[in-house]
Amino acid sequence: MKTIGVLGGMSWESTLEWYRLANERVSAELGGYHSAKILLDSLDFAEIEELQSAGDWDGAGRLLAEHARRLEAGGAELVVLCTNTMHLVAREIEDAISVPFLNIIDATAAAILGSGIDTVGLLGTAFTMEQDFYRDRLAAGGVTAIVPGEADRGAVHRIIYDELVHGTTTEESRAAYRGVIGRLVEAGAEGIILGCTEIELLVSQQDSPVPVFPTTAIHVAAALDAAGLGAAALDR
């Protein structure tokens, strides 16, 4: 099984979930004392958030590209970025390394199409919902994404940054997300993308009348497949 280079810390709450899910799957499939081969570079989210707020995506791209190069130099055989929003600078990361970069948006599009639907609601940070990079890449893969209205986008974003990145979950916020999901379904969504890795700490399938697509879990599964987990299981 290949070593996965993980760009994390954005936030560490969701990176922890990514790491947990990866190791649980490896343990379940390989048994014994097996765990995932992961090289983790955990950034200081405060630095990233400052660049986001300033709209300095070029600076963010340079920073993540440098950390991706460090992962490759350290022995990573493929690289993943454990955050949806920062896939806005995915091209800079891809261009900085010679090993494969596994894009969370591509993995999510494949999961959606594999379920037999092609129109989904997109929940995420304001950057993810309001800029084109996420919806355009989904569209290139055959998936149409619709986003909440302005007030709902503000509520979704606020809960992520004020609560979820700090590990706080409340029933009030869960109810707010359920309301947003309901309105997206009324607008034609056949499924819901949990397009921020922290959202999975708050929302699950039981909170939605249509299928949800948890991007963290989807990304983990795709990364382990790319790393050769299936082949490793067969070779036992």
Instruction: Just list the catalytic residues.
Output: 83, 196
- Decide if 43 contacts 31 (C-beta within 8 A): no
Work out whether strand 4-8 and strand 144-146 pair parallel, antiparallel, or are unpaired.
Answer: unpaired
- Decide if 202 contacts 164 (C-beta within 8 A): yes
Cα 188 off chain centre by: 23
Q: Give the helix/strand (H/E) hosting 232.
A: helix 229-234
- Burial 143-171, CB ≥16 within 10 A → b, else e: bbbebbeeebbebbbebbbebbbeeeeee
Separation CA 102–CA 54 (nearest Å): 27
Quickly count helices (H) and strands (E) in the chain: 11, 8
Phi first, then psi: give them for residue 183, nearest 5 degrees: -70, -35
